[in-house]
């Protein structure tokens, strides 16, 4: 006998209770985004490889080690998207929207990274995120962070997460810090990992993200960014913290939060938890001012964040299956088509309907009760001849005969609704 097929390594099926938790994350996100005036965009699952080579940098681990790259039959180099920000920026430019600011955008969907699978980390995973294009002031940064806070609170995670905040300063400040880092790490080049030596000349800020033990031992004495902030960057930092206070957002300053890409500036933040072991970040983001230009658009200041849906789903409690609805049970095979027509009529009116035809009446009723249906409709030969149905309330087991013409009104009355659900 042929072997059973398995899911590809690093992927997983979303079923049952996990799927309910994922749906809860998505529904909650959409509601919070609605409150802030955001609209959903969807971009293709694969993009031109250059979209990510330019936005993430060829020295990044994502580009050099983790992207799924392939050539199509026409020889075009494509990649499965590893993250959502660059495609949304590309869409902003492609669709001529960079001149119509602000644009408040959210997205959700699968991302792909070729990395070693481990608990809570997959090669195909799902993200939900938001981008504000046209973020003209620190107030907008604070508002975007507040939206992330509201999202986590609405999921019931408010007490389980902590906001860590840092400033990356403007381009002038970062350039001065960059030179100081190059000088410092050059003096310890023999102690750096191979990856960090490669990054030293091109982008030393990426060394600060290194997971190598030897690299991290050097970070304690590395130049602190605070010493290189110019006056404009200090004002932005002060206004950001004041604005967060106005939104009622609590935070902890963490100078170790950095972003390796040159287009990130000023605000960098992470919501972290101690409930995930070493992988403690549940939502992270920052301000960026050069990425839209990288995609061929004009200078646009933006801020955004993203969160792993599976990671959030693992932190929220069990979700109940949607219950309710009506079961239609024909008595005898000769009435199945009549019952099908009745189910169609009810669904057209907005009701959730299950057509139960399989097995004995006892087995059918067992399934109906287990499903959480509120009512059962029985249709027999005599009922069809007289134009009636037998309506049973499953909460009190009371049964009554109802004319077909009055059925929708009677259902609305018995369920306490003024009209059938739409």
267 in a labelled binding site:
no
113 in a labelled binding site:
yes
83 in a labelled binding site:
yes
Do 139 and 267 contact (CB within 8 A), yes or no? Answer: no
250 in a labelled binding site:
no
66 in a labelled binding site:
no
131 in a labelled binding site:
yes
259 in a labelled binding site:
yes
pLDDT, position 422: 45
Does domain 326-414 bear CATH number 3.40.309.10?
no
**212-265 pLDDT, tens per residue?**
888 888 888 888 888 889 999 999 999 999 999 999 999 999 888 877 676 889
pLDDT, position 418: 45
| Residue 203, pLDDT above cutoff 50 | yes
Alpha helices by DSSP H, 187-263: 194-202, 213-219, 231-246
| Residue 209, pLDDT above cutoff 90 | no
Nearest to 61 by CA among 207, 280, 168: 207
> In the predicted model, what is the mean pLDDT of the chain?
90
* Stated pTM of the model: 0.87
Domain ranges of the chain: 16-170+230-315, 326-414
pLDDT, position 387: 94
**42-54 pLDDT, tens per residue?**
999 999 999 988 7
- Give mean pLDDT, residues 340-369: 94
Residue 95 is classified by DSSP as T
48 in a labelled binding site:
no
397 in a labelled binding site:
no
Lowest mean pLDDT among 143-147, 178-182, 246-250: 178-182
| Residue 419, pLDDT above cutoff 50 | no
- Give mean pLDDT, residues 133-153: 97
pLDDT, position 115: 80
| Residue 402, pLDDT above cutoff 90 | yes
Measured in whole angstroms, how far is the alpha carbon of residue 280 from the centre of its chain? Answer: 17
CATH of the domain spanning 16-170+230-315: 3.30.930.10
| Residue 345, pLDDT above cutoff 70 | yes
Do 179 and 173 contact (CB within 8 A), yes or no? Answer: no
Q: How far apart are CA 422 and CA 418, in angstroms?
A: 12
**54-93 pLDDT, tens per residue?**
766 555 555 557 889 999 999 999 999 999 999 999 999 9
């Amino acid at each position: 006998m042929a072997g059973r097929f398995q899911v590809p390594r690093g992927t997983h099926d979303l079923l049952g209770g996990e799927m309910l938790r994922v749906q809860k994350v998505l529904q909650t996100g959409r509601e919070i985004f609605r409150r802030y005036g955001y609209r959903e965009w969807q971009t293709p699952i694969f993009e031109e490889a250059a979209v990510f080579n330019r936005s993430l940098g060829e020295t990044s681990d994502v580009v050099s080690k983790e992207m799924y790259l392939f050539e199509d039959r026409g020889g075009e180099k494509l990649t499965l998207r590893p993250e959502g920000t660059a495609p949304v920026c590309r869409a902003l430019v492609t669709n001529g929207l960079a001149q119509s600011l602000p644009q408040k955008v959210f997205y959700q969907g699968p991302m792909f990274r070729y990395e070693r699978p481990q608990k809570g980390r997959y090669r195909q995973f799902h993200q939900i995120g938001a981008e504000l294009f046209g973020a003209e002031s620190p107030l907008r940064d604070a508002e975007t962070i507040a939206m992330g806070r509201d999202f986590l609170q609405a999921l019931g995670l408010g007490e389980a997460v902590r906001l860590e905040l840092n400033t990356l300063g403007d381009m002038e400040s970062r350039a001065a810090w960059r030179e100081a880092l190059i000088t410092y790490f050059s003096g310890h080049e023999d102690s750096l990992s191979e990856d960090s030596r490669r990054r030293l000349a091109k982008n030393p800020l990426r060394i600060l993200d290194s997971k190598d033990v030897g690299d991290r031992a050097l970070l304690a004495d590395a130049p602190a960014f605070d010493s290189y902030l110019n006056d404009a960057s200090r004002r932005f930092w002060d206004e950001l913290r004041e604005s967060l206070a106005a939104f009622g957002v609590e935070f902890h300053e963490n100078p170790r939060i950095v972003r390796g890409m040159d287009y990130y500036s000023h605000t960098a933040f992470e919501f972290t938890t101690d409930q995930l072991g070493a992988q403690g970040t549940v939502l992270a983001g920052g301000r960026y001012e050069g990425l839209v230009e990288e995609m061929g658009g004009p200078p646009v200041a933006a801020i955004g964040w993203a969160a792993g849906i599976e990671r959030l789903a693992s932190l929220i409690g069990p979700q109940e299956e949607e219950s309710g609805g009506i079961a239609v049970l024909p008595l005898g095979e000769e009435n199945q088509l009549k019952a099908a027509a009745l189910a169609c009529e009810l669904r057209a009116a907005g009701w959730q309907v299950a057509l139960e035809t399989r097995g004995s009446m006892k087995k059918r009723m067992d399934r109906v009760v287990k499903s959480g249906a509120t009512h059962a409709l029985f249709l027999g030969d005599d009922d069809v001849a007289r134009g009636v149905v037998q309506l049973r309330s499953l909460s009190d087991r009371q049964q009554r005969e109802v004319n077909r013409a009055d059925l929708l009104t009677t259902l609305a009355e018995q369920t306490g609704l003024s009209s059938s659900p739409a």
